[in-house]
Amino acid sequence: MKKSSTKKSNTRSIWNIAALALVLVLAASAIMGCSSGAAPTESAGTSSGNTSAPETAPEAAPEAKSVTIRLDQFSGSGASEDALKSMVAEFEKQNPSIKVTLQSFGYDDYFTQLQSKVVGGNAADVFELNFENFVSYASEGVLKDISSLVGDTSGFNQTALEAFQYGGQQYGVPNSFSNVVLIYNKDLFDQAGVSYPTDDWTWSEMLEAAKAIRALGSDTYGLYRPVSFHEFYKGAKQNGGSIMNDDASAFTVNTPQNVETLEVMSGWVIDSNVMPSDAQMGGMGDWDLFKSGRLGMIVTGIWAFSDFTDNCSFAWDVAIEPGNTSKATHFFSNAYVINNETKEAEAATKLAVFLAGSKEAANIRVAASWELPPVTYQDVLDSYLQITPPENREAVFKSLDYLVTPPVIKQQAEMQEIISKHLNNALSGAKTAQEALAECQAELEQKITLS
């Protein structure tokens, strides 16, 4: 699946997303084993004319019950589907009594179809959910509590693992996770005579480098980082702010830290123009601008690596995304969940666990450059680090120390729409950052109910 600078936050779920729970537990569960009958004994006759009792054949071990599990998913569509099919084939090889019917859907269509299937009672035994939609399904009783069906979870990355628990129970198995880094065009940095980004960079160093690259030509830009809900939330965290208080009981959008954040982000377009406006983009996507060789830096996810490897004619590398007073980077994850109505919960959980956390599946995922497997197997992670470009893949793992996730509430879609509207007012110059966030705060308090 091709993705742009940040993953889409799908808001077409059946219900508005309930309060976010961040802890998840998972691992492998065992399918019922086979038992074999006891060997028969032979009794010898002692009287004349008697013979030993007829020899009977050993009782055959009962065959394992054959089941078919349906898996619906979106992240393994398109270029990644062959890798997923290889994972499924390996699972069926190791579990010959379980057959898997795989159905893949594009991201844009997936959640609409999932909604219809759940309402109609025809959801798959195992289906995929992204982080943003997980809580809404778990809170409405659609998902199976698999706490008793999973075992040792020590092989999973704990951050990814903890993202899919609700109410203290396990409702999902993370199948991948990813984060955001700063990707930069080394050739443009060399032409501008600017040193490459380091782990110590802040917004200030990033801006100065962007200005030097912008000066290379009228159609060359220094930086692209969207001024969107998710990016603003992350930017606020990078500057000591947030959009809600710690217990999500009040909005904190209109604060000095957040005003400064929006001033800096909108200033990249309005003041220094190191980032192109929508008009200057002319309908071109941010990835396409980077691949054209006319963009010095792009803040985007590690899922871009394979695309950039195939389509960039210049040298590029990555670094931890700069912050201001602190560092923060996005965390994204998808999970396999079990339909609460399935009649094959054990087999379904076993499939989910294998695809998400087995070493075999993780190796296939790494070889396909398909995001990051949510595991801690050192040999698997080492093989991921050896793939180039980028040379500095270690930045992917260093960035995990700074993961942040935005708040998720019942009126999620409405909240994001309100915030995005006021961010755009500042980005267009129609409002100052202070005016935009003051009006945003007032509208949120008027229209959004926080529990």
- Inform me whether the pLDDT recorded for 59 exceeds 80: no
Residue 52 pLDDT > 80: no
Same domain, 291 and 370: no
Instruction: Report pLDDT for 63.
Output: 62
pLDDT at position 62? 57
Mean pLDDT score, 101-127 = 95
* pTM score, whole prediction: 0.78
Q: What is the pLDDT of residues 214-266, one digit of tens each?
A: 999 999 999 999 999 999 999 999 999 999 999 889 999 999 999 999 999 99
Domain check: are 225 and 300 in the same one? yes
The SS3 call for residue 82 is helix
Q: Are residues 234 and 121 in the same domain?
A: no
Q: Are residues 380 and 414 in the same domain?
A: no
78 or 33, greater pLDDT? 78
Count of Cβ atoms closer than 10 Å to residue 109 Cβ: 11
Which of residues 343, 361, 388 is at a domain's end?
388
The pLDDT assigned to 22 comes to: 32
Mean pLDDT of the chain: 86
**Model confidence band, residue 43 (pLDDT cutoffs 50, 70, 90):** very low
pLDDT at 73: 97
Query: In this structure, is residue 35 part of a structural domain?
Result: no
Do 150 and 75 lie in one domain? The reply is: yes
Tell me the C-alpha distance between 362 and 341, whole Å. 29
Per the domain annotation, does 296 fall within a domain?
yes
Whether omega for the bond prior to residue 390 falls within 30 degrees of 0, making it cis, is yes
380 contact partners, CB below 8 Å, separation of at least 6: 359, 362, 363, 366, 373
Q: Are strands 221-224 and 295-301 parallel, antiparallel or unpaired?
A: parallel
In a domain, 401, yes or no: no
Nearby residues of 275 by Cβ (< 8 Å), 6 or more positions away: 210, 221, 222, 223, 224, 225, 268, 269
CATH of residue 374's domain is 3.40.190.10
Based on the fold, state whether residues 121 and 255 are members of the same structural domain: no
- In this predicted structure, what is the pLDDT of residue 50? 38
**131 in a structural domain:** yes
* Number of folded domains that form the chain: 2
Same domain, 126 and 243: no
Does some domain include residue 37? no
Residue 189 lies in a domain: yes
| Count of helix runs (H) and strand runs (E) in the chain | 17, 11
Best CA proximity match to 353, nearest among 155, 68, 111: 155
Identify whether 23 is part of a domain.
no
Q: Would you place residue 15 in the very low, low, confident or very high pLDDT band (cuts 50, 70, 90)?
A: very low
Q: At what angle do helices 256-270 and 412-427 cross, to 10 degrees?
A: 50
Task: Report the alpha-carbon distance of residue 24 to residue 174 in Å, rounded.
Answer: 9
pLDDT, tens digit, 9 for 90 and up, residues 381-405: 899 999 999 999 999 999 988 999 8
How is residue 56 written in tokens? 């009977």
Looking at the predicted structure, is the pLDDT value of residue 17 above 50?
no
Q: Are residues 314 and 340 in the same domain?
A: no
Query: Are 168 and 190 contained in the same domain?
Result: no
More confident residue, 259 or 412: 259
215 and 309 assigned to the same domain: yes
The count of residues in the chain is 451
Paired tokens of 148: 């008793």
Would the pLDDT of 55 be above 80?
no
Whether 6 shows a pLDDT value over 50: the answer reads: no
Q: 73 with 219, same domain?
A: no
Report the phi/psi class of residue 43: left, alpha or beta, with left for phi > 0 and alpha for psi in -120 to 50: beta
Closest CA to 213 of 285, 317, 297: 297
Longest distance between any two alpha carbons in the chain, whole Å? 114
Residue 394: inside a domain, yes or no?
Answer: no
Q: What percent of the chain has pLDDT over 90?
A: 68
* Structural domain of 350: 67-176+333-388
- The secondary structure element, H or E, covering residue 67 is strand 67-73
Check pLDDT > 70 for residue 10. Answer: no
Q: Could you give the angle at the alpha carbon of 374 between the alpha carbons of 18 and 238, nearest 5°?
A: 65
The answer on pLDDT for 29 being more than 50 is: no
- Name the residue among 290, 269, 264, 268 with its Cα closest to residue 280: 269
183 and 168 in a common domain: no
Q: What is the pLDDT of residue 160?
A: 82
